Amino acid sequence: MRGKRLIPPLVAIAVWQIITTVGGVPSYKLPSPLQVLGGLKDLAVVGLPPGHLLHTHALYSLKRVFLGYSLAVSVGIPLGIAVGWSRRVRFVVEPFIELLRPIPPLAWIPIAILWFGIGIKSAAFIIFLGAFFPILLNTSAGVLAVDPLLIEAMRTLNGKPRDIIFKVLIPGSIPSIITGMRIGVGLGWMTLVAAEFSGVKQGYGLGYMIMTARDIQRPDEILAGMFFIGVAGFVIDGSLRLLEKSLIKWR
Amino acid sequence: MAVNLKLSRITKTFPENGSLSQVPVLDNLDCIIESGQFFSIVGPSGCGKTTLLRIIAGLEKASEGQILLNGDAITDNDRRVGLVFQEFALFPWRTALQNIEIGLEINGVPKAERREEALKYVREFGLEGFENTFPKMLSGGMKQRVAIARTLISNPEVVLMDEPFGSLDSKSRIDMQNFLLDVWEQRKMTVVFVTHSVDEAVYLGDRVLVLGKRPSRIMETFDVEISRPRDRANPALLEMRERIFGLCARA
């Protein structure tokens, strides 16, 4: 029964509606679900600031994520394969990973603004940093975890290094690469919203939008914006899960 | 018969854990394997028979000595030599058919051609209906058929087999032994078959080489001059079996 899964959230929403209407929780602290729905409608139709509609905010955010994320994928996966495959590359790259990975992506914001100015480039750079390390590390771990027997099998079948990389290491590490991509896009999305809070903004963006809602004291629009950010993240992850399913039929 | 594979003074040592000294595994092996022969190698576990096979396959280098195939030294991933692993070593992300054809694929045989060739093996090896099945869903005997087909499709002169039936139950083991004999009698490639089962070595082989405990030397080589098809209960076969058991007990 698929419908049954909806019962707990529906009950929670009903309780939420009750405590906000007759339970004495003031709506400037916690607006009711219906008010949040109204906020969502205002964001979509009126815009915040007026004229800056929700879908435009979302498009700007998605564009930043797409740019930073595709950069992270196109650098992270090949580099991860190289790190997993070659001890020499690992020796050179690993210290830099160890050094840079613990720095939270948000701590890069000041230097990113210095380097790229305020705008899409610095936002994409911060998202790149958030998504890059999980993609890189999961890819290299996936390559290292490929059964050495399969590499030997390829060698005895007269496989050359190119065949070992493209026919053994890459297909063998696909599950782990996709895991990295999923973690990466999640972190990229989280990083984006925070980055849009702190100056990497252009008048558009979902993070910027909910900060504006706070500035003008519209908690219904704050919550509506948060809800939208959550749903968008869920949809992005869902599409990667579909990709995972279609690529990994053999498990 | 023409000389096919010539092993001269093969010695292999491994570095001992935590010390600089070397542990000898194979000690000065000399042996000639004739073209088209079914050559069994039998010995106790840990005697280095797998190591010997890996050296012939080019997966490892001998510490000393030389292996010639028709007068030429064996190279790393030599096309003339194929290896069938005990653990099958099938590529789990490839279907049975895709596993069988990979040797042709990496050598640039066009898709239609290699498909046709692989389908011949599917029919001959009794794999109809399982062409598009992933290895995970195949029985042990079927996996080993796919693995043998994958090796044979490139027409190697020498097929090395490392306890290929060791993980099968006794019924499929007997089926696979007879199946392998059929395949070999049709093609007459040279087979070097490593096993720890004296019964299997004697039943299958034209010649049986008995290796002693580590560091292995050749204890004795037997010619099994019993016509085929053989009866497993043939008194001459059983007598030879007893002699080999006696030899192993003395070691």
What is residue B205's predicted lDDT score, i.e. its pLDDT? 95
Residue with the larger pLDDT of the pair B213 and A108:
A108
pLDDT of residue B251: 64
Instruction: Kindly tell me if the per-residue pLDDT of A235 is higher than 80.
Output: yes
A243 Cα to chain B: minimum distance (Å) = 15
- Chain A residue with CA closest to B96: the answer is A250
Chain B nearest-CA residue for A171: B93
* pLDDT for residue A142: 96
CA separation (Å) from B142 to A203, B90, B130, B133, B176? 63, 11, 9, 11, 9
Q: Taking CB atoms and an 8 Å limit, are A158 and B107 in contact across chains?
A: yes
| B91-116 average pLDDT score | 96
* B89: closest chain A residue by CA: A150
Q: What is the pLDDT of residue A49?
A: 85
Whether chain B has a CB inside 8 Å of the CB on A171: the answer is yes
Q: Angle A120-144/A109-116 helices, nearest 10 degrees? A: 120
The confidence band for A118, taking pLDDT boundaries of 50, 70 and 90, is confident
Tell me, yes or no, if A249 comes closer than 8 A to chain B by beta carbon: yes
Mean pLDDT of the region B143-170: 94
Q: What is the pLDDT of residue B124?
A: 94
Distance of residue A236 Cα from the nearest chain B Cα, in angstroms: 26
Percent of chain A surpassing pLDDT 70 = 98
Confidence of residue A201 (pLDDT cuts 50, 70, 90): low
The average pLDDT across B183-203 equals 94
* Chain B residues touching residue A251 (CB < 8 angstroms): 92, 136
Nearest Cα neighbor of B88 from B133, B20, B139, B32 is B139
Statement: residue B165 has pLDDT above 80:
yes
The complex's ipTM?
0.91
pLDDT digits (tens, 9 = 90+) for A137-186: 999 999 999 999 999 999 999 999 999 999 999 999 999 999 999 999 99
pLDDT higher than threshold 90 for residue A11 = yes
pLDDT of residue A193: 82
- Please report, for chain B, how many H helices and E strands are present, in that order: 7, 10
The verdict on a CB contact (< 8 Å) between B136 and A251 is yes
Question: Is the model's pLDDT at B202 over the cut of 90?
Answer: yes
Q: Mean pLDDT of all residues in chain B? A: 91
Q: What is the pLDDT of residue A159?
A: 92
SS3 per residue for B58-78: CCCCCCEEEEEECCEECCCCC
d(CA B97, CA B104): 12
A127-141, B73-87, B119-133, B135-149: least confident range: B73-87
What confidence category does residue A128 fall into, taking pLDDT thresholds of 50, 70 and 90? very high
Range B215-218, long-range pairs (CB < 8 A, 24+ positions): B215/B23, B215/B24, B215/B25, B215/B26, B215/B27, B215/B48, B216/B25, B216/B26, B216/B27, B216/B29, B216/B43, B216/B47, B216/B48, B216/B49, B216/B52, B217/B27, B217/B28, B217/B29, B218/B29, B218/B30, B218/B31
| Test mutation, A146, A150, A158, chain B, max B CBs within 10 A | A158
Interchain CB distance below 8 Å, A249 and B77: no
Mean pLDDT of A237-251: 89
pLDDT the model gives residue B4: 86
- Among B57, B77, B82, the residue with its CB nearest the CB of A159 is B77
Q: Could you please state the CATH topology (level 3) that the domain comprising A54-247 is classified under.
A: MetI-like fold (1.10.3720)
Distance between CA atoms of B176 and B187, rounded to whole angstroms? 16
One-letter identity of residue B145: R
| pTM tops 0.90 | no
Q: Which residue in A has a C-alpha nearest to residue B59's C-alpha? A: A152
Which stretches of chain B sit within 8 Å of chain A by CB? Answer: 57-59, 76-79, 81-83, 85, 87, 89-94, 102-103, 105-107, 134-136, 150-151, 154
Return the pLDDT at B123. Answer: 95
Q: What contacts A33, CB < 8 A, 6 or more positions away?
A: A13, A16, A17, A20
Residue B19, pLDDT above cutoff 80: no
